[in-house]
């Protein structure tokens, strides 16, 4: 009974509807933003981890197993 | 074009890396000792500081905040500098972050065994440490944003968005959930009570998983996986959707930890719906990672670092599919309070966080020491042992969880409980606890192998404290940029705007849950017979919190016949209005205690706490002999009453003056009761307070004034018809 009373707070049902609408709005906005990007830009961003600007070769030496 | 030369700071990365390995071993060992106690309770050596209840938070805090926390800082400090093409904003802040964070962990490792705990899961640390966490987190955030602002790379790579979301959200969660009123240096009371406390706690608890264990590690995945595979991330587009959908949705899902409890139904349904939606962004991220290896799977065969990474991503995928499934109410009714949850979280922590951390460590050490990994063979051995360990851990926990869940719900053909004695269901799963400990041991052996391998790697090379790098300053790059930057691209060049929008994204979900929480506060039906705890019960409850009883005993009877038959009347929201903090628990290694009051005589509790096996043969509960000998410290009683009044418990003004006398009167009564059970115990011992508290549990509604039963609708209708006929 207690649960029933609490679940019937005035207008609380709207929270569920608003929440789902908000999710679809955010999801759609992210989709839109993502798909409107130029491929050249996306390619340039995705290689960023590979360009650290370091002035030395990555690894030298030998492993014990070699 | 002007080119600047600068240096990346490797010292701070090394410091965090070493701390990660050390705390990993400590945290996992604490977990193993706790696991052993579940089939061999005497493994605590009757030493109160390492009993299961106190050790469990040491384990969880150590692996989450010490192992993963240091691992996260290690990954962020390494990748952020390189993605921003800039040294960290401030070396001083970097070291403040390192020493401060690790001092907090040391403080946790001391205070939790001493029993200084708030009892709120993953937020157990007491208020002085909470303040320290906030200060150090601000130092980290300033350093993060400062580095981003002085970057030489105009656009922020996806990993950095995840780091920003982590910094902002953890700050919000920590502050809101840790609001408490101190009663002494090491004791405080949550400002929230009962249902509100539960909702805030699991909004925090769930998002600690999301924004401490997941988002920073996703950022690391987006950096270190392409590095190791030597190829760009599979889809940068997907990463944009992944990021926004994940941070927006995650924050809503907390209530799935409270399904079928006294939490309002709408909040439970909201939590369930958003949990299911979470599959989409989570799997988007996992697939983005795995598909990055397209065409490079041959490398996985040779490179142990990639092996660890692939298993980490697979475990992430499994855990993020299983999580939403467990959030479905009907599944949760079986899984909740059982070891199924333990299996689920360990798929995530051992698989996702553990393997990802190992992967990054194996990748970093050779680079920090300008050498190659000492032994790839040993790393491969680590991989297989850790994988085997993980399997030996999670599979027995699945079996145990499902077995026990089904046993709790089993009725005979005649309609009686098949297993009315809770202990029967525990004894059934003890063999699984033994297997789990074997799994944990294997996993730790693997971690030791890694520590040795990394140590030998460090010895075979020369540490490079600063790495020289070159890049053009931002001002020089502006003219080569696209003249029409728009959409997400513009956002990636504006870190403060991106941080602001990420904050809005996480606040929406938080607000939708928290605002109704205040509505609920005004609408939780008060039960007139529910009264504040007496002074002795307050002290007993605080001892219950100190001993970590909530780690094994829930205080929340769900509205199922299988539960009301076993424990009694289901729990109502209005019964918890004076519970600061709530003690609903999330695991039943022992039975629920919400209707424990009056079930057994005081002497039974005394004997049970002294030696649980004397009353319950085969019980795996530890003996609490120290409660029998230690004197109850009542010096802080007035401060405790005062603090409880401040958080809303209606003790009359000046009650502190009589509280001690009331406490002694009630203690003498308990002591007298014990004499009838042939037990002679001094009234000033801790056990007296614990017994008083246990005997109070769930009894208030039994004292409710008896009202005439409302007439059944059919009877009412017939009576109305009769009245109408009589009138006619």
Cα atoms in the 13 Å half-sphere on the side-chain side of B716: 5
If asked whether residues B656 and B601 sit together in one domain, one would say yes
**SS3 assignment, position B543:** helix
Residue B524 lies in a domain: no
User: In chain B, whose CA is at the least distance from the CA of A7?
Assistant: B264
Residue B680 lies in a domain: yes
Give the start-end residues of each E strand in B73-136: none
Residue B521 lies in a domain: no
Binning pLDDT at 50, 70 and 90, where does residue B726 land?
Answer: very low
Provide the phi-psi class of B295: left if phi over 0, else alpha when psi is between -120 and 50, else beta. left
State the CB neighbour count (10 A cutoff) for residue A18: 12
pLDDT surpassing 80 at residue B459: yes
All residues of chain B having their beta carbon less than 8 Å from the beta carbon of residue A23 are 248-249, 274, 277
What residue spans define the domains of chain A? 19-46
CB within 8 Å of B588: residues ≥ 6 apart: B337, B338, B552, B553, B554
CB < 8 Å from A in window 609-668 of B: none
If asked whether residues B478 and B608 sit together in one domain, one would say no
Contact assessment for residue B154 and residue B85, using Cβ atoms and an 8 Å cutoff: no
List pLDDT tens digits, range B43-63: 999 999 999 999 999 999 999
pLDDT surpassing 70 at residue B720: no
**pLDDT-wise least confident of B485-499, B547-561, B588-602:** B485-499
If asked whether residues B484 and B587 sit together in one domain, one would say no
**pLDDT-wise least confident of A37-41, B48-52, B79-83:** A37-41
Average pLDDT over residues B393-403: 96
Dist. CA B385–CA B86, nearest whole Å: 39
If asked whether residues B250 and B106 sit together in one domain, one would say yes
If asked whether residues B443 and B573 sit together in one domain, one would say no
Looking at residue A1, its pLDDT comes to 41
Looking at residue A12, its pLDDT comes to 57
Dist. CA B307–CA B557, nearest whole Å: 44
**SS3 assignment, position A22:** helix
pLDDT surpassing 50 at residue B712: no
All residues of chain A having their beta carbon less than 8 Å from the beta carbon of residue B505 are 26
CATH number for the domain including B124? 1.20.210.10
List pLDDT tens digits, range B579-631: 999 999 999 999 999 999 999 999 999 999 999 999 999 999 999 999 999 99
R_g of chain A computed on alpha carbons: 26
CB within 8 Å of B508: residues ≥ 6 apart: A22, B248, B251
Q: Which long-range contacts (CB under 8 A, 24 or more apart) does B302-305 make?
A: B302/B376, B303/B228, B304/B362, B304/B373, B304/B376, B304/B379, B304/B380, B304/B382, B304/B383, B305/B228, B305/B359, B305/B360, B305/B362, B305/B363, B305/B379
Binning pLDDT at 50, 70 and 90, where does residue B64 land?
Answer: very high
Residue B536's closest CA among B706, B429, B664, B628? B664
If asked whether residues B502 and B540 sit together in one domain, one would say no
Residue B396 lies in a domain: yes
Residue B708 Cα distances to A4, B278, B700, B705, B712, angstroms: 21, 48, 19, 10, 12
**SS3 assignment, position B327:** coil
CB within 8 Å of B467: residues ≥ 6 apart: A54, A55, A56, B7, B8, B10
Q: Dihedral of the CA atoms B512, B513, B515, B519 (nearest 10)?
A: 120
Report pTM: 0.91
Average pLDDT over residues B473-494: 69
List pLDDT tens digits, range B176-200: 999 999 999 999 999 998 888 998 9
Six token digits for residue B470: 């070159």
- Between CA A4 and CA A12, with CA A8 as vertex, the angle to 5 degrees is 135
Average pLDDT over residues B68-92: 96
Q: How much of chain A exceeds pLDDT 90, in percent?
A: 0
If asked whether residues B335 and B480 sit together in one domain, one would say yes
Across the interface, do B226 and A46 touch by the CB < 8 Å criterion?
yes
- How close A25 comes to chain B (CA, Å)? 10
Domain containing B105 equals 4-514
Dist. CA B268–CA B341, nearest whole Å: 18
Q: B605-626 burial string, b = 16+ CB within 10 Å, else e?
A: bbbbbbebeebbeebbbbbbeb
Six token digits for residue A36: 């409107």
Across the interface, do A34 and B240 touch by the CB < 8 Å criterion?
yes
Residue B73's closest CA among B96, B55, B97? B97
Dist. CA B667–CA B152, nearest whole Å: 69
Q: Number of folded domains in chain B?
A: 2
User: In chain A, whose CA is at the least distance from the CA of B575?
Assistant: A2
Dist. CA B701–CA B45, nearest whole Å: 40
Of residues A60, A61, A63, nearest to B376 (C-beta): A63
Bridge partners of B6, per DSSP, are B469
Six token digits for residue B549: 């009883």
**SS3 assignment, position B502:** helix
Looking at residue B469, its pLDDT comes to 92
Residue B189 Cα distances to B130, B192, B232, B538, angstroms: 13, 8, 50, 11
CB within 8 Å of B723: residues ≥ 6 apart: none
Binning pLDDT at 50, 70 and 90, where does residue B703 land?
Answer: confident
If asked whether residues B543 and B463 sit together in one domain, one would say no
Looking at residue B711, its pLDDT comes to 47
CB within 8 Å of A13: residues ≥ 6 apart: B266
Of residues B8, B237, B252, nearest to A35 (C-beta): B237
pLDDT surpassing 50 at residue B682: yes
Six token digits for residue B468: 């020289």
pLDDT surpassing 70 at residue B707: no
CATH number for the domain including B654? 1.10.760.10
Average pLDDT over residues B638-657: 94
Six token digits for residue B305: 């670092």
Looking at residue B265, its pLDDT comes to 78
If asked whether residues B67 and B96 sit together in one domain, one would say yes
State the CB neighbour count (10 A cutoff) for residue A61: 16
Residue B318 lies in a domain: yes
Q: State residue B682 phi and psi, 5-degree precision.
A: -65, 145
**SS3 assignment, position B333:** helix
**pLDDT-wise least confident of B261-265, B390-394, B644-648:** B261-265
Looking at residue B519, its pLDDT comes to 65
ipTM of the assembly?
0.77
- Between CA B146 and CA B151, with CA B150 as vertex, the angle to 5 degrees is 115
Mean pLDDT for chain B? 91
Dist. CA B615–CA B714, nearest whole Å: 48
Of residues A9, A19, A26, nearest to B519 (C-beta): A9
Across the interface, do A53 and B523 touch by the CB < 8 Å criterion?
no
């Amino acid at each position: 009974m207690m649960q029933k009373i609490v679940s019937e707070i005035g207008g609380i049902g709207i929270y569920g509807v608003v929440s789902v609408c908000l999710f679809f709005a955010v999801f759609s906005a992210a989709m839109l933003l993502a798909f409107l990007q130029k491929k050249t830009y996306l390619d340039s961003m995705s290689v960023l981890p590979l360009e650290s600007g370091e002035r030395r070769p990555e690894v030298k030496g030998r492993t014990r197993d070699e | 074009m002007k080119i600047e030369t600068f240096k990346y700071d490797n010292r701070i990365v090394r410091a965090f890396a070493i701390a990660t390995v050390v705390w990993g071993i400590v945290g996992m060992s604490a977990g193993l000792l706790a696991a052993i106690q579940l089939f061999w309770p005497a493994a605590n050596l009757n030493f109160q500081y390492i009993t299961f209840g106190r050790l469990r938070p040491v384990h969880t805090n150590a692996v989450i905040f010490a192992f993963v926390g240091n691992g996260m800082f290690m990954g962020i400090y390494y990748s952020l500098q390189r993605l921003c093409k800039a040294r960290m904003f401030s070396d001083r802040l970097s070291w403040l972050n390192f020493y401060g964070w690790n001092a907090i962990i040391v403080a946790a490792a001391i205070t939790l065994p001493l029993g200084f705990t708030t009892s709120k899961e993953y937020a157990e640390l007491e208020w002085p440490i909470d303040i320290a966490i906030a200060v150090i987190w601000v130092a980290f955030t300033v350093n993060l944003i400062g580095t981003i602002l002085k970057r030489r790379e105009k656009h922020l790579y996806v990993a950095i968005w995840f780091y920003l979301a982590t910094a902002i959200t953890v700050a919000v969660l920590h502050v809101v959930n840790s609001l408490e009123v101190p009663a002494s240096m090491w004791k405080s009371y949550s400002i929230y009570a009962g249902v509100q406390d539960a909702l805030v706690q699991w909004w925090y608890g769930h998002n600690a998983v999301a924004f401490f264990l997941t988002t920073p590690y996703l950022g690391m995945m987006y950096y270190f996986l392409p590095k190791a595979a030597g190829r760009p991330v599979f889809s940068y587009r997907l990463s944009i959707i992944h990021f926004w959908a994940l941070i927006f949705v995650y924050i809503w899902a907390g209530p799935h930890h409270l399904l079928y409890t006294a939490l309002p139904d709408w909040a439970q349904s909201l939590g369930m719906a958003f949990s299911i939606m979470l599959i989409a962004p989570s799997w988007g991220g996992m697939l983005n990672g795995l598909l990055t290896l397209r065409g490079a799977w041959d490398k996985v065969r040779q490179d142990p670092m990639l092996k660890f990474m692939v298993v980490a991503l697979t475990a992430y995928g499994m855990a993020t599919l299983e999580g939403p499934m467990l959030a479905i109410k009907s599944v949760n009714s079986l899984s909740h309070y059982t070891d199924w949850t333990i299996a689920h979280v360990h798929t995530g922590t051992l698989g996702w966080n553990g393997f990802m951390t190992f992967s990054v460590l194996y990748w970093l050490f050779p680079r920090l020491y300008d050498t190659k990994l000492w032994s790839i063979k040993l790393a491969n051995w680590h991989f297989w042992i850790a994988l085997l360990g993980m399997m030996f851990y999670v599979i027995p926990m699945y079996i145990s969880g499902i077995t026990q869940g089904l046993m709790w719900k089993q009725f005979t053909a005649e309609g009686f409980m098949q297993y009315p004695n809770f202990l029967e269901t525990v004894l059934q799963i003890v063999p699984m606890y033994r297997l789990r400990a074997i799994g944990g041991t294997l996993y730790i052996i693997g971690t030791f192998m890694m520590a040795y391998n990394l140590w030998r790697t460090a010895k075979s090379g020369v540490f490079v404290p600063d790495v020289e790098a070159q890049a053009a300053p931002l001002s020089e790059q502006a003219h080569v940029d696209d003249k029409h930057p728009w959409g997400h691209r513009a956002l990636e060049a504006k870190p403060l705007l991106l941080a602001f929008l990420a904050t809005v994204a996480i606040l929406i979900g938080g607000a939708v849950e928290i605002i109704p929480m205040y509505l609920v506060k005004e609408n939780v039906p008060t039960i007139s017979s529910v009264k504040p705890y007496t002074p002795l019960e307050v002290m007993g409850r605080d001892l219950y919190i100190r001993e970590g009883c909530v780690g094994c005993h829930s205080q929340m009877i769900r509205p199922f016949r299988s539960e009301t038959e076993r424990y009694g009347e289901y729990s109502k929201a209005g019964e918890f209005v004076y519970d600061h903090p709530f003690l609903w628990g999330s695991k039943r290694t022992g039975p629920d205690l919400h209707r424990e009051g009056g079930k057994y005589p005081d002497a039974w509790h005394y004997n049970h706490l002294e030696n649980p096996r004397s009353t319950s043969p085969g019980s795996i509960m530890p003996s609490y002999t120290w409660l029998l000998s230690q004197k109850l410290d009542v010096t802080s009683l007035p401060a405790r009453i005062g603090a409880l009044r401040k958080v809303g418990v209606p003790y009359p003004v000046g009650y502190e003056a009589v509280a001690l006398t009331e406490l002694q009167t009630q203690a003498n009564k308990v002591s007298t009761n014990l004499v009838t059970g042939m037990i002679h115990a001094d009234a000033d011992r801790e056990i007296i307070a614990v017994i008083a508290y246990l005997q109070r549990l769930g009894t208030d509604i039994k004292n409710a004034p008896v009202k005439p039963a409302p007439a059944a609708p059919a009877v009412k209708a017939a009576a109305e018809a009769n009245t109408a006929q009589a009138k006619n």
